[in-house]
Every structure is written in C-alpha cells, then in structure tokens.
C-alpha cells in the first residue's frame, strides 16, 4: 500500500498573506534577539551575519540598525520570499541573497560568518534533519562566533493554541514539529557552549531561544 508524502508548509503562500498578528510576534521576537545579543555585546560592528531561512526577513533592518554589520547574507530555498528582499536598501551593509538549503548549504558553504542565526526553521524537519540543520549553522560560523536559534517548544500554551488554530483551519505549518529544548541542546553538544537561553512565553505559540558561542576548532 502506497502512502502519500508528508504535507509541507507552503511558504510562498505564507509570504503572500502574512497574518496581522505576526507583526506583533515578530516585533517581540526581534526585541528578544537584540537583547540576547546585546547582553554579550555581540556581534561587534563590521561583523558578517548569515540568516538561514530568512526569505523576506523581518529581522534584517533592526539587526543592521543596532549592530552595524559589514555584510548580511540571507539563505533560503524559497525563491519568491527571496525576491521580496531584492532591492532592499541597507545602509552601510552589503546584502546578499542565496537560494540555499540549510540541510545542504552550497553557495554559502565557502563563507564564514560572525553570527549565524535562524528563527522558526529547524522545527520543520524530522529529528535527524533537525540535528543536521543545527550542525550546519556551526559549519558556517567562524571559530568563537555566535549561533542563535529559536524554535517552538511544546508547552501547554503552545499545544492549546495550536489545537485551536488547527480546529479552526488557521494553522499553516503542517510540518512544524515543536521541539523540546533538550533535543536542540543535544545537537549543539560538541559544537559550542550555550551563553544564554530563554523561553519566550508572551508568544502564544511558545518559542525557545538559544545563543551559543562556537568552539575554537572547525565545525566541519
């Protein structure tokens, strides 16, 4: 008996019709990312930053404004989402767009960055590929650089909110797999040292944020 392939998120549809509530959640998430980085006075001005899964990035402008990087790269598989960033003016910073997969980085594979981060990306894979996605963040970061990850965690608040959205057919992420922080921390083990972590409770679909300093040795 054949089985149908698992349903995946339609990211082009998502980018064409972002829910109004996303503006509030994005604003809060942006603030928490900036606070976590600023707490450790990182990254320094002139840094190179990579955002995985950053098509139509809602973090680009705020991060460039506060941390003044020299280069900001966005890597994503969604061509439509990347096209929304084309022509975006970013003062004093070179913006580059890469149609690239976090599971098999190609065009950014030869580059190294001071900060590599993703928001709401690593939970869209099965456990082996989630671990691979985490490892590939460390492949792209320079020794002693920073990796920042956020992902949904299955708190009661998350499960209750998602159940309501699914029941009312407003849930748009069929491949999202809420992750216990321990799963992500296990994937990080051996690649870096956790500087900071926090559960972002004000988001109804509860997220967890982890900031890690990469080890001295290469992450290849």
Cα–Cα distance, 214 to 74 (Å, whole number)? 20
pLDDT tens digit sequence for 119-170: 999 999 999 999 999 999 999 999 999 999 999 999 999 999 999 999 999 9
Q: Is the pLDDT of residue 94 over 90?
A: yes
* Average predicted confidence (pLDDT) for the chain: 92
What pLDDT score does 41 carry? 83
pLDDT tens digit sequence for 78-93: 999 999 999 887 888 9
Q: What pLDDT band is residue 111 in, cutting at 50, 70 and 90?
A: confident
DSSP SS3 for 162: helix
Domains assigned to the chain: 19-214 (3.40.50.150)
Calculate the alpha carbon distances from 97 to 33, 76, 147, 151, 197 in Å.
21, 8, 19, 23, 29
Rounded average pLDDT over 98-110? 92
Supply the DSSP string of 82-127, one letter for each residue. Answer: HHTTTT---TTSEEEEEE--TTS--TTTT--EEEEEEES-GGGS-H
Cα–Cα distance, 216 to 214 (Å, whole number)? 7
Cis preceding-peptide flag for 57 (omega within 30 of 0) = no
Q: What pLDDT band is residue 21 in, cutting at 50, 70 and 90?
A: low
Task: Name the least confident of 52-56, 66-70, 100-104, 108-112.
Answer: 108-112
State the first-to-last Cα distance of the chain, in angstroms, to the nearest integer.
Answer: 41
Q: Is the pLDDT of residue 217 over 80?
A: no
* β-strands 192-200, 207-214 pairing: antiparallel
Q: Return the bridge partners of 116, or none.
A: 50, 147
Could you give the dihedral angle defined by the CA atoms of residues 28, 29, 30 and 31, in that order, rounded to the nearest 10 degrees?
50
Between helices 21-39 and 60-67, what is the axis angle to 10°? Answer: 30
What pLDDT score does 18 carry? 74
What pLDDT score does 141 carry? 96
């Amino acid at each position: 008996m054949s089985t149908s392939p698992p349903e995946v998120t339609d990211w082009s549809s998502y980018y064409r019709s972002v829910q109004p509530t996303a503006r509030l959640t994005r604003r809060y998430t942006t603030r928490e990312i900036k606070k976590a980085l600023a707490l450790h006075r990182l990254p320094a001005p002139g840094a190179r930053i990579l955002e995985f899964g950053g098509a139509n990035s809602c973090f680009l402008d705020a991060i460039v404004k506060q941390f003044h990087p020299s280069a900001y790269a966005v890597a994503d598989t969604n061509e439509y989402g990347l096209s929304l960033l084309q022509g975006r003016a970013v003062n004093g910073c070179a913006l580059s767009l890469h149609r690239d997969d976090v599971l098999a980085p190609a065009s950014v594979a030869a580059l190294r960055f001071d900060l590599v981060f993703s928001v709401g990306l690593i939970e869209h894979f099965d456990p082996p590929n989630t671990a691979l996605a985490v490892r590939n963040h460390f492949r792209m970061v320079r020794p002693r650089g920073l990796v920042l990850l956020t992902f949904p965690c299955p708190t009661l608040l998350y499960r209750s909110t998602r159940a309501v959205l699914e029941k009312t057919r407003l849930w748009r992420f069929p491949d999202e797999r809420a992750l216990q922080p321990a799963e992500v921390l296990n994937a990080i083990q051996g690649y870096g040292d956790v500087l900071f972590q926090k559960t972002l409770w004000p988001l109804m679909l509860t997220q967890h944020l982890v900031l890690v300093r990469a080890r001295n040795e290469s992450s290849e």
